[in-house]
């Protein structure tokens, strides 16, 4: 098995994770969490979204969060931007990078953005052009690259059409999302085989949700095919408000364990990552279900029990 020696983990929990929570997390608690994540060795944190608060009320405080966090050297602080109005708000917060987003399937794109795929391209191009004029790097998200909750299976050729247009706009990286978490390694292989005939692997990041428990298997397949950037969310937080049944992202701590156990460098401190996961678990008021967090929870419980018997 040919594997890379180093991988970049992009933490999307503060945006992709919290946007799907039923309750609003207080701004101070978001800031505290992001500051903790900044100390883990992560080099990239997607802090929030400039989608209108009417649609994502959980992230209505995006500007205050971005203005309040303590920025660490070497960490990129990014935000999701849907349109030119969102970009103007992002400019006011001095984001390091922005992400634009759309879907590979018509059904999800219309549900998520309220536009067809063809109608979405000019909206994103305007954002990309203006961001680049301001020397901001732009990342692109493509959702539903394996299957759509409305349209069913999505052909790799359809994903390629969307990727082509985003690449033409000049995004530096395209994150490919298995939004509803149904993909398996053979599907990932088929998708990447199609895309890598036209683009280098460095253009792509993979964004796996873990609805069916296949996210890490899909990561391994992606590694074999030369992908070296992966999105993840602390504690496995996440989901998509416009994709019924989608569960959380692959957990950052589980992804980090897999990679480091395979002797792939990530630069991320696992203990600090676990501590940050416990922190946000307490704030959202529900048990997070990553494997590494469950192990750490059991170990801490055992240590408490042992202390009581001494």
Q: What are the angstrom distances between the C-alpha of 17 and each of 3, 28, 125, 202?
A: 28, 17, 26, 25
Burial (CB < 10 A; 0-12, 13-18, 19+), residue 287, is: exposed
Give the span between the Cα atoms of 226 and 237, in whole angstroms: 26
**Cβ–Cβ under 8 Å, residues 179 and 144:** yes
Half-sphere exposure of 142 (CA within 13 A, CB side): 31
Tokens matching residue 251:
């957990």
Residues noted as catalytic: 240
Give the span between the Cα atoms of 274 and 253, in whole angstroms: 7
């Amino acid at each position: 098995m040919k594997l890379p020696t180093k991988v970049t983990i992009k933490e999307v929990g503060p945006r992709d994770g919290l946007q799907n929570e039923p309750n609003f997390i207080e701004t101070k608690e978001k800031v505290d969490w992001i500051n903790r994540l900044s100390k883990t060795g992560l080099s990239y944190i997607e802090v929030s979204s400039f989608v209108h608060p009417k649609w994502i009320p959980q992230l209505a405080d995006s500007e205050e969060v971005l203005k309040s966090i303590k920025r660490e050297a070497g960490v990129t602080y990014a935000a999701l931007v849907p349109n030119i109005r969102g970009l103007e708000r992002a400019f006011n917060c001095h984001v390091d990078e922005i992400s634009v987003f759309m879907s590979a399937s018509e059904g999800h794109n219309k549900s998520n953005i309220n536009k067809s795929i063809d109608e979405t391209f000019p909206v994103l191009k305007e954002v990309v052009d203006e961001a680049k004029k301001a020397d901001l790097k732009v990342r692109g998200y493509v959702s539903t690259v394996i299957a759509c909750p409305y349209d069913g299976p999505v052909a790799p050729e359809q994903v390629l059409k969307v990727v082509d247009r985003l690449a033409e706009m000049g995004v530096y990286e395209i994150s490919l999302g298995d939004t509803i978490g149904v993909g398996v390694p053979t599907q990932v292989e088929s998708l990447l085989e199609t895309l890598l005939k036209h683009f280098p692997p460095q253009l792509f990041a993979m964004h796996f949700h873990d609805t069916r428990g296949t996210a890490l298997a899909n990561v391994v397949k992606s590694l074999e095919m030369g992908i070296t950037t992966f999105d993840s969310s602390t504690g496995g937080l996440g989901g998509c408000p416009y994709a019924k049944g989608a569960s959380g992202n692959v957990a950052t701590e589980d992804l980090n364990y897999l990679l480091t156990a395979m002797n792939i460098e990530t630069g991320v401190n696992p203990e600090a990552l676990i501590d940050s996961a416990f922190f946000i678990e307490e704030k959202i008021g529900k048990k997070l279900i990553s494997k590494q967090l469950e192990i750490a929870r059991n170990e801490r419980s055992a240590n408490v029990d042992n202390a009581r018997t001494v």
